[in-house]
Amino acid sequence: MMAGTGGMRVLARAIVIVLLMCIPAIAHDSWISSGGFRGKGQAANEWCCGSGDCAPLNYTPIISADGYVLRGGEVVPYSEAQPSPDGTYWRCKRPDGTRRCFFAPPSTN
């Protein structure tokens, strides 16, 4: 009986750890979901988010004269970027992978 109790404790701890790791992702997505953000430029008037279509970039884009240069060569014009309240770069996409919205940290200039 003691072995079963120990196994349950390990399982319970594992579940808590997994849930704690999920909280930041849920919190980040909530400001986009609840903010009522809409795209700019070609995506004007489209809602920025759907179910899980926004993700933070795991790198810093190149800042060029034309806009933010993302991996793969996509350029997001400055006029189409929206301020990111959490200071992180975010890209929201359509089901086909094309960009719907882009969020960038506020400019420090």
* pLDDT score of 104: 96
Q: Is the dihedral of CA 72, 41, 79, 26 positive or negative?
A: negative
pTM for this predicted structure = 0.68
Distances (CA, A) of 78 to 63, 64, 73, 105, 106: 10, 10, 15, 12, 11
Q: What value does the mean pLDDT take over residues 9-22?
A: 54
Split at pLDDT 50, 70, 90, the class of 16 is very low
The pLDDT tens digits of the residues spanning 22-57 come to: 444 444 456 777 778 888 887 787 888 765 789 999
- Match 């979901």 to its residue by tokens: 33
Does residue 60 surpass a pLDDT of 90?
yes
24 vs 78 pLDDT, higher one: 78
* pLDDT score of 108: 52
* pLDDT score of 11: 66
